Amino acid sequence: MIDVSLTVAGITKSFSRRAIFRDISFSLHGGDSLAITGRNGSGKSTLVKILCDVLTPTAGAVQYAIDGKNVSMESAKDQLGMVSPYLQLYDEFSGLENLELLSRIRSNNFPIDERSSEFLKLVGLWDRRKDMVRTYSSGMKQRLKYAFALLHRPLVLILDEPTSNLDAEGVDVVKSVVENQKSSGILVVATNDAMEARWCGQELQLGDQAQAELKR
Amino acid sequence: MKFVKYGSIILITFVIIAGLAIPLSPSPQGWLQFPVIPALEEKARNIFFHVPVAWTTVVAFLVALFYGYRYLRSRDINDDIKSVSSAGLGLLFCVLATITGALWAKFNWGSFWNWDPRETSIFVLLLIYGAYFALRSALESEEKRATLSAVYSIVAGITVPFFIFVMPRMMAGLHPGAKGDPEGAGPVVQFDMSPNMLLVFLLSLLGFTLLYVWLFNIRVRMAKLEYERNPHHS
Amino acid sequence: MSALSSTYALIRKDILSELRTRYALNALLMFVVTTVATILFALRSDQPTPTVLSGMYWVVIFFTAMSGLSRVFVSEEERGTTMTLQLVASPSVVYFGKLLFNVALTLSLTLAVTLLYTIVFSTSFTIQTPSIFAVTVLLGSLGFASAATIIAAIVAKANTRGTLYPVLAFPVLIVLLMTVMNATTKALDGEEFGAAMGDFQILLGYIFAMTGGSYLLFDFVWKD
């Protein structure tokens, strides 16, 4: 397993001076998994966005390290995969085209055709790969998001509401993805569901009064 | 602050009196007579009011820009409060400058507006202020409002040197001192005025600047109080 | 270098997307045709002077640009793909990709309007100094695109009422508009190339200042 770590120190986020959460700190290494739990509105998705450098925290820092050396957020993004209800893909393109276009923008080094067919098959979208995403059901869009998140074999996988819109088959795919990720890198899951939270070794519970509790 | 308040009241009052009351004469004697400037004559009195007001609006813009930049670095909402307070004053002074300018234009050249470079510049500044506030009203999140209006003011600020310095040189204009200006409005523009006129002018400049500082101070304090009263206002 | 290939890939994505949806192209085409038609009706058989013509030329460009150049950011924001882009591309890649797309769009626009004008105003729209015209159109398009792009990025983040984009863009573009109109008149009047040097200097200065400033400020706009 590659040596990868995610260190979060003193993260606070406020909107219009109302704090959503304060002073969150934790550290994860390869093989670790963290569930972020809490009621609706407690800031789970907000924290997830901060971990992916899509949102700037009001205070605190997020630091990724590979092989023991700190890496910039820019380079870290190449090792990050994210699935989220807020993530959208381009609906004027097909599933396959989305993977190809986004992969080129990311400047990935691997042969796109092989990789996309591998993951489209994994998520069960191979037959619909040439259809426009506009025609996909919400469950299919969720599966495509997984293909997009996993395409570059990220060391860190962050899932916000991992099984939303998925049928039983889809949930099974997610479970295998989760197991795979736990043995090869870092996994973070943000969820309301207690069962999903139990996939992870640690739990960070976000409370109502902007507090956070690290359990286990 | 007391110096600023009293200073501005005294200076502006003095300037209003001196600027309007001191008579013109072809060969001025002593301190209580202004020289006659060809082509301008009585209308030259406008310089005591129009120029300082125009100067103040530019100062207000630069201050708004400065605090906008500070906000981008500090993310401290107080910097944004100062920026928008200054911008509000800038807008006010800009309107005054446009009006005093248009009045002068009417009396001097016959029509209220002619699109000469300086007129166009003050008009553009007015548009920038308007756009700044339009942008702010379209943003609900406090942080976004502060960030994006700071960025816009800097982007607009980048164009300001262009139209203030470059345009009048490129085009002939009506304003005294522009290329193609007939006869001797020079003294007014090159500030080669008689000492007593220069004094009144400089005092006016100072008086209006102090007025701006005073108003700025009040506005910032008011905004801070309102802000504290509504801790979660967006 | 991967930043270059990323930028190219982003531009390619936007071009392909545009060809598929024709989001901006349609608006642009309609605008050009309707504004030129309106001008034609207003003039009837009167032939406009070079000053009026050059003014009208850039007015058409301005309004058409206002209906199309914000697409690069507004479409991402509207469809929720901003976050997707943030995950795959660095802010510089996004800025230059969107900027170059807008440059291409503006240049195509100027080409279309030039052709249309040569046909419609065949007697009066004679470019007597093509060198001035070509340089003006090139520099003008670059300047236009650089200002329009950063403002599009700003507007995309606001609760967009449609009118916000031109309201913000116009004051910033006025300097550019005045300069290009000046230079275009010189091109139509047949003045020497050297006569427009001052205008070109302003345009170059504007392009550098605007592009440089936008690049430095882009991070603040793009990242929440």
Which residues in chain A are contacts of C17 at CB distance < 8 A?
90, 92-93
Q: Which chains touch B (3 or more CB pairs under 8 A)?
A: A, C
> Is A152 a residue whose pLDDT tops 60?
yes
Which residues in chain B are contacts of C174 at CB distance < 8 A?
120, 124, 127, 159, 163
Q: How far is B19 from chain A (nearest CA, A)?
A: 49
For residue B41, give the 3-state DSSP assignment. helix
The alpha carbon dihedral of C42, C43, C49, C53 has a sign of positive
As a whole number, mean pLDDT of residues B214-226 equals 89
Q: How far is A18 from chain B (nearest CA, A)?
A: 7
Question: Sheet harboring A4-15: ordered strands across?
Answer: A18-29, A4-15, A59-66, A69-71
Report the percent of chain A where pLDDT is more than 70. Answer: 96
Strand A69-71 relative to strand A59-66: parallel, antiparallel, unpaired? antiparallel
Contact (Cβ atoms closer than 8 angstroms) between residue C119 and residue C37: no
Q: Tokens 């440059």 belong to which residue?
A: C103
| C-beta atoms of B144 and C206 within 8 A | no
| C-beta atoms of B234 and A16 within 8 A | yes
As a whole number, mean pLDDT of residues B146-167 equals 86
Cα separations in angstroms, B166 against A64, B92, C76, C203: 49, 25, 37, 11
> Is A97 a residue whose pLDDT tops 50?
yes
Which residues in chain B are contacts of A18 at CB distance < 8 A?
231-232
Indicate the DSSP class of residue A151.
T
* CB burial of residue C36 (10 Å; 0-12, 13-18, 19+): buried
In this structure, what token pair is assigned to residue B229?
A: 């009263």
ipTM for this model: 0.92
| C-beta atoms of A104 and C6 within 8 A | yes
Going by pLDDT thresholds of 50, 70 and 90, the confidence category of residue C51 is: confident
Q: How far is C170 from chain B (nearest CA, A)?
A: 8
The closest of A129, A184, A158 to A48, measured between CA atoms, is A158
Which residues, at least 6 apart from B42, have a Cβ–Cβ distance to it below 8 Å? B24
Residue A94 CB neighbours (<10 A): 20
Its pTM stands at: 0.89
Going by pLDDT thresholds of 50, 70 and 90, the confidence category of residue C152 is: very high
Is A159 touching C (CB cutoff 8 A)? no
Q: If you average pLDDT over each of B75-84, B111-120, C46-55, which comes out highest?
A: B75-84
Strand B24-25 relative to strand B34-35: parallel, antiparallel, unpaired? parallel
pLDDT at B184: 36
Residue C136 CB neighbours (<10 A): 27
Q: Which domain holds residue C149?
A: 3-223
Which residues in chain B are contacts of C203 at CB distance < 8 A?
none
- For residues A60 and B129, give the distance between their C-alpha atoms in angstroms, rounded to a whole number: 35
User: In chain C, what is the straight-line distance between the N-terminal and C-terminal CA atoms, in Å?
Assistant: 27
- For residues C16 and C182, give the distance between their C-alpha atoms in angstroms, rounded to a whole number: 36
Centroid of chain to Cα A135: 24
| C-beta atoms of C84 and A101 within 8 A | no
For residue A27, give the 3-state DSSP assignment. strand
pLDDT at B34: 64
Mutate to test the interface with C, among B135, B137, B169, B179 (most CBs of C within 10 A): B135
pLDDT at C96: 96
The closest of A202, A197, A158 to A45, measured between CA atoms, is A158
What is the crossing angle of helices C23-43 and C2-21, to 10°? 60
Going by pLDDT thresholds of 50, 70 and 90, the confidence category of residue B182 is: very low
Amino acid found at A2? I
Which residues in chain B are contacts of C152 at CB distance < 8 A?
none
In this structure, what token pair is assigned to residue A122?
A: 């994994």
- For residues C98 and A210, give the distance between their C-alpha atoms in angstroms, rounded to a whole number: 38
Element (H, E) at A176: helix A168-184
As a whole number, mean pLDDT of residues C63-81 equals 90
pLDDT at A28: 92
Contact (Cβ atoms closer than 8 angstroms) between residue C141 and residue C207: no
Going by pLDDT thresholds of 50, 70 and 90, the confidence category of residue B42 is: low
Give strand pairing partners of A63: A7
User: Buried b / exposed e across A106-124, counting CB within 10 Å, b at 16+?
Assistant: bbbeeebeebbeebbebbb
Domain count, chain C: 1
Q: CA neighbours within 13 Å on the CB side: how many for A91?
A: 15
Contact (Cβ atoms closer than 8 angstroms) between residue A187 and residue A33: yes
> Is A69 a residue whose pLDDT tops 80?
yes
Which residues in chain B are contacts of A58 at CB distance < 8 A?
75
In this structure, what token pair is assigned to residue C3?
A: 């930043």
Q: How far is A17 from chain B (nearest CA, A)?
A: 6
Give strand pairing partners of A13: A21
| C-beta atoms of A107 and C21 within 8 A | no
- For residues C143 and C139, give the distance between their C-alpha atoms in angstroms, rounded to a whole number: 6
In this structure, what token pair is assigned to residue B131?
A: 């756009």
User: Buried b / exposed e across C200-214, counting CB within 10 Å, b at 16+?
Assistant: bebbebbbebbbebb
Contact (Cβ atoms closer than 8 angstroms) between residue B189 and residue B176: yes
Contact (Cβ atoms closer than 8 angstroms) between residue C166 and residue C66: yes
Indicate the DSSP class of residue A200.
S
Instruction: Tell me the pLDDT tens digit for each residue of A162-173.
Output: 999 999 999 999
